[in-house]
Every structure is written in C-alpha cells, then in structure tokens.
Amino acid sequence: MRHSNKNRTLSRTTDQRTSLLRGLSVSLIRDGKITTTLAKAKELQPRIERLVTHAKKGTVASRRIVASRLGEPSDTIIKKLFTDIAPKYATRNGGYTRVIKMGRMPSGRVQAVIEFVE
C-alpha cells in the first residue's frame, strides 16, 4: 500500500524517475524556461525550489548537496545556479518558479511551461 507516499510516479520506476527529474532540473537551470507535461512540471517545482534555497546559502556544503541532487552535472550548471540564479532571489522567501498551463494537446496530455520568476 502507498500510505504517506504523495510523490507522482509518472509511470516510471524510481531510477527512471530520478533521472528524468535530474534532466529536467538541469534543463531548467540552463534555459530558464522549459515546456513539459503538467504532472512533470508540478513534480519538478518543489525540487528546483529546494535547490535554489540551498544555492542561496552559498556554502561549500550546499554546493555539494546541489551537485549530488543534480547527479554531478557540468560545473557550468552549478556555477550558473550559484552565481546567476540564486542572487536574484536573495530577499525572496520561496516561490522562485511558476507553472503555466498551456492546455490539452491532441495526444491527450496537458502541456505546461515551468520558468523562473523574474
């Protein structure tokens, strides 16, 4: 039974889901805005918010935590998060991203855009 397990499975196994969300996280940090399905965007949002909160601290420990959560991506992604994105939200207490619904596609899925708030 799935008592007290509120995460979306996205019809994937745990390792596939982890890889998917890591890839989406890296893409969002790199591009600032991505288009995906609504379920994936809603699952990605709290993960990105936590990463930005860690990045705001700016410590070596927080860099290591972010690197482990992103699966050890290239240094440019971590550097961009810590030097470009996190300082913009230094005085903001959460709510760094927004999810905008794009509507239903012909295939039946609901598209959404997730982006960083300006």
In a domain, 48, yes or no: yes
In a domain, 85, yes or no: yes
In a domain, 86, yes or no: yes
Write the pLDDT tens digit of every residue in 1-47.
Answer: 889 888 899 999 999 999 999 999 999 999 999 999 999 999 999 99
**What's 95's domain CATH number?**
3.90.1030.10
Contact (Cβ atoms closer than 8 angstroms) between residue 81 and residue 51: yes
In a domain, 1, yes or no: no
Number of domains in the chain: 1
Q: Which amino acid is at 21?
A: L
In a domain, 9, yes or no: no
In a domain, 104, yes or no: yes
Q: Which of 118, 86, 113 is nearest to 27 (CA)?
A: 113
Q: φ and ψ at 94, to 5 degrees?
A: 95, 175
Averaged pLDDT, 79-89: 97
In a domain, 81, yes or no: yes
Q: For residues 21 and 35, what is the distance between their CA atoms, to the nearest angstrom?
A: 13
Q: φ and ψ at 65, to 5 degrees?
A: -65, -45
Q: What does the pLDDT read at residue 49? A: 98
Residue 71 belongs to what domain range?
14-116
